[in-house]
Amino acid sequence: MSTPQEQPFDVDAVMAQLTLEEKVSLASGSDFWHTQGVERLGVPAVMVTDGPHGLRKQAGESDHVGLNDSVPATCFPPAAGLASTWDPDLLRRVGAALGDECRAEQVAVLLGPGVNMKRSPLCGRNFEYFSEDPLLAGELAAALVQGVQSRGVGTSLKHFAANNQETERISVSAEVDERTLREIYLPAFERVVTQAQPWTVMCSYNKVNGVYASQDPWLLTQVLREDWGFEGLVVSDWGAVDERWRGVAAGLDLEMPASGGSGDASIREAIADGHLSTEELDVVVRRNLQLLERALPALAPGQTFDADAHHALAREAAQQSAVLLANDGVLPLDPTTGGRIAVIGEMARSPRYQGAGSSQVSPTRLDDALTALREGTSREVVFAAGYVPEPAEGEGADDALVAEAVGAARGAEVAVLFLGLPASWESEGYDREHLDLPGGQFALLEAVRGVCDRVVVVLSNGSAVAVDGWAHHADALLEGWLLGQAGGAATADLLYGAVSPSGRLAETVPVRIEDTPAYGAFPGDSGVVRYREGLLIGYRWYDTRRAPVSFPFGHGLTYTTFAHTDLAVRATGAGQDARVAVTLTVRNTGDRAGAEVVQVYAAPQDAGVFRPEQELVGFARVDLEPGAAQQVSLTLSARDLGHWSEVHRRWVLEGGRYEVRVGASSRDVRQRAVVDVEGEDLVALLTPRSEAGTWLEHPVAGPDLRSRLGDAAAMLDDAQHGRMMRAIPLVRLTRFPGFPVDEADLPALADAANAAR
């Protein structure tokens, strides 16, 4: 591999000297993890490698699928955990640490973060994605990208776009209307691009409305570059390219990994037969060289990182990632006084701390909760495994292990059960089949509860699991997600009260899989998945339908309490310049320090189109000492309150009343206020095919049309039949016998009305 050079890299000079064959070669990688170099011109090959919650750099030769062991690196909590922190500042610090570890290993681009929406809790890769809400996912991912790139290392925002399942992910067509794409599945990408400009964006494997993402000019050029102003390079997911030359034309700059020459041949043939121009090839080659220009300064050898400091940061991140779902007062446990603590569950001793697939990190060290719980207390701690770590689907309880656990729990003051999903049950490459924990864990919990009056359950899972069938057996429930290499110690910190839980759910915990928005339309069939739930995913679905949930989006308890007071909202400006200022006071009303996450939701009251019941439009994490108070201020923009108009082909803001709701979850609204917002002039453009009712409602065309209709207007205003008549396109009515308006006059009438507006 070529090594980075000390002299500044001159993109223009290299472009001027490249042969056509060299240009073609630069549009793909040289192997599994490296870009292509041109030795005669001093163009080095640089390494890109997996993340996103830790560096996964393979030592030595790469295997053919890139899944061999990797060099030790800090394993931070995956995105499912980090999202529950609702803390962009923490994500920025984690990103900077990741950037330093990349520099130490001379890695130019870390492949992440992933901001695909959690359309269904069954998606096997949900552990690697942030949220069911695009604003939260976008804000957190932007902070992570800013942190990594502050160290001179690039990121790769993925998987663009509509990659919301693993089943048939390489071939399935996601059928999604544009409004749903623009409001749900694209905004997190947009927010990261506009706020943080990731060096690269990774296209997804799947098709979007029948077109492979790797060769979709609407996605890769119109939306990404023209609409959002993306300045970087678009790279394929590994093996996502279908026809390479079409990808070049659409805006796919780099094919990864090396394709054995097939991609190069596709480009050469397309240029030879005139389907692709050398100018189009030059565009992608220049972007590849510009990536090198950015990356080379940070790739000097001999750099190191502080592994101890990064482990401490991983512990802090894990502390903030866990969500206390329920607690009747059993937590926190007193570490100095009390009877025996029974720790039950193999995951306490053998932690499940990350997901499976291409993001698996080899940690620099690994804390387990059992050791940390023993070291953190003077009380007696006993342990029983309780279950086998990798049960087969449908496998029941191991009677001997359950009996051992019951013996450990009998007479204990409290039993802490570590339950969760086996590693093989959720992974990149396939989706989960159900929401349940292994059945043997239910039997274990029930048996332990039968002999112990105080039971705490700690969960380890990468995505939501059903809890309603067994949560009544637990006095406290701590959702641990997957907490990275320091998760064991962090869990002990939380259980003993060294820190107060501060995580909030970034995804809804449903009662049943049958209640979820995509049920019956996930993962699709016959090569197609239809997003028929439209805008209503996650809490948008449950709140709009007023459906019961186990735990709502945004929920999370602490060891203290908070009061929200003095909400004030004020609207200024109009149309795209409209703003709503939101202020309130948050006070810690308990006797312990803690963090509150203030969540602001907007509920349009006068919408002319369908809108979800409410949508998250802002949030703020506030750390407060006992008795302390802080004013929180947020400003909502026209974009925050608006919607994508398929009529106007852009984001618009309707005027009218908006209820601003502030609270601690989507179902825990503490304060409300209604504000009048001055919107845009959204009169639809008229065409001859517009409905007669639309013509009549138009402020210019309506009065003119009525004057032309004369007595015929009565049939359009008739109480019984008028609605039916007004729904007919005006051009069709002109063809009815005796209709007083001529079809030939409609284009001029429409043009005049549109010009007047």
Catalytic residues: 237
How far is Cα 189 from Cα 139, in angstroms, rounded to an integer?
A: 10
Q: Two tokens at 467? A: 């809890």
**409: amino acid identity, one letter:** A
According to DSSP, the residues that pair with 255 across neighbouring strands are 28
The DSSP annotation for 715-746 comes to HHH-TTTHHHHHTSBHHHHTTSTT-SS-GGGH
Helix ranges (H only) for 355-418 are 369-375, 399-409
The DSSP annotation for 224-289 comes to IIIIT---SEEEE-TT--SSHHHHHHHT--BBSS--TTHHHHHHHHHHHTTSS-HHHHHHHHHHHH
Under 8 Å between Cβ of 386 and 449: no
Nearest Cα neighbor of 730 from 705, 700, 703 is 705
The neighbour count for residue 330, using CB atoms within 10 Å, is 18
**554: amino acid identity, one letter:** G
3-state class (DSSP) for residue 684: coil
CA angle at 197 for the pair 196 and 198, rounded to the nearest 5°: 100
**643: amino acid identity, one letter:** H
Nearest Cα neighbor of 94 from 106, 107, 112 is 112
3-state percent breakdown (helix, strand, coil) of the chain, nearest 5: 35, 20, 45
Angstrom CA distances, 712 to 137, 705, 707, stand at 55, 11, 10
DSSP annotation of 293 reads H
Q: Cis (ω within 30 of 0) for the bond into 523?
A: yes
Under 8 Å between Cβ of 415 and 409: yes
Torsion of CA 739, 741, 745, 751, to 10 degrees: -120
Handedness of CA 483, 487, 488, 494 (dihedral sign): negative
How far is Cα 22 from Cα 15, in angstroms, rounded to an integer?
A: 10
Q: Order the strands of the 594-604 sheet from edge to edge.
A: 615-624, 594-604, 656-665, 668-677
How far is Cα 663 from Cα 620, in angstroms, rounded to an integer?
A: 11
Strand 211-212 versus strand 207-208 pairing type:
antiparallel
> For the packed helices 278-295 and 262-272, what is the interaxial angle rounded to 10 degrees?
140
3-state class (DSSP) for residue 467: coil
Q: What are phi and psi of 218, to 5 degrees?
A: -65, -45
> Helix/strand/coil (H, E, C) string of 637-671?
EHHHHCEEECCCCEEECCCEEEEEEEEEECCEEEE
Give the max Cα distance, the chain.
96
